Amino acid sequence: MLQRPRRRSGLVGPVAAVGAPWLWFLLRDHTGPVGDVVAILLPVLVVLGALAMGWRRRWAYLPGIVSLLLVGLVAVLAPWRPDPTGPVQPGGAVRVAAANITGESGDPAALLADPADVTVISENAFGVHERFVAAYRHSVYGRANDVGVYSRYPLRVLDPAGPDLPGVRVRVEAPVPFTLYALHVPRPWITDRGYEVTPVEHHRIMVALAAQVAAEPGPVVLAGDLNTTDRGRDHRVMTAVLTDAVRDTWQGPTQVTSWRLLLLRIDHIFVSRGWCGDDPLHVPLPGSDHDAVTATVGPCV
């Protein structure tokens, strides 16, 4: 008589459900564009995964549900936690703002009420440009890519927009001069207009930017809407050569409307090693789908 095969232990699945989510931290930089997409969708995927495990009310999977939710919490909150760089030298301090204004829809009044020393505007528009020109002595507006730079200090364009420079590279003659990368990197996810770029192309752009920044002979500030979530590998590509200047305090999402459930911090200010960031703020922009970010940057004390 044939014997029935023994059933596998009923604990294999629940035990695997506890450990498997933590593999994300080992594999996330080695799964290519799949990992990039998962990083973008992570909060929603975590909730859906927890609901799927709990659908049949199999309480053996409760530890797995808790483990999955904990992984999601750590993955989202770890890049938001304070990681102070140290104080900025007062004599070299420059207040920088990065804002996706969403064209004429956005209201930059809060930024103009207390203007930063240097402001980078993504999704600029002529009406917005005119308002900032009235508040600043120096400006650069690249209409080809709708990125504007407005400064209290003289500006000199070093490189216009190109395939590996989605913005403009300028020299800022601040008390301590620096090279500014003012950027609006295309978004690597689908919208009602389809993909602006694929995750593969977005990664290529970020790698090229990191390589160019690493080759700069002097201090660099990189600011703008990078469409790069801080839990994704492209953020880690950038922080391998630059410092995230806004983590002096707890951070949070900067994409605050249609994609708010994804908890995306995609507007950034980075600085060279040896430079620090103080007093970061999020500035609401009514009518825009982003909050602006500001920080005081400069050589570390």
Q: Where are the domains of the chain?
A: 12-80, 91-299
Tokens 């801080």 appear where? 230
Q: For residues 187 and 210, what is the distance between their CA atoms, to the nearest angstrom?
A: 17
Determine phi and psi for 210, rounding to 5 degrees: -60, -40
Determine phi and psi for 98, rounding to 5 degrees: -130, 125
pLDDT at 145 over 90: no
What percent of the chain clears pLDDT 70, i.e. is strictly above it?
Answer: 94
Q: For residues 288 and 123, what is the distance between their CA atoms, to the nearest angstrom?
A: 10
* Alpha-carbon radius of gyration of the chain: 22
Would strands 118-122 and 94-100 be described as parallel, antiparallel, or unpaired?
parallel
* DSSP codes, 143-173: TTTTEEEEESS-EEEEE--BTTBSEEEEEE-
DSSP3 helix / strand / coil % (the chain, rounded to 5): 35, 25, 40
Q: Which helix (H) or strand (E) holds 135?
A: helix 126-135
Determine phi and psi for 215, rounding to 5 degrees: -90, -5
Say which residues have a Cβ less than 8 Å from residue 134's Cβ, sequence separation at least 6: none
Tens of pLDDT, residue by residue over 104-135, are 999 999 999 999 999 999 999 999 999 999 99
Nearest to 130 by CA among 121, 172, 165: 121
- What is the band of 14 on the pLDDT scale with cuts at 50, 70, 90? confident
Tens of pLDDT, residue by residue over 233-269, are 999 999 999 999 999 999 999 999 988 999 999 999 9
Report pTM.
0.93
Tokens 């930017």 appear where? 209
The CATH code belonging to domain 91-299 is 3.60.10.10
Given this model, what pLDDT does residue 258 score? Answer: 85
Q: Which helix (H) or strand (E) holds 281?
A: strand 275-283
Tens of pLDDT, residue by residue over 205-238, are 999 999 999 999 999 999 999 999 999 999 999 9
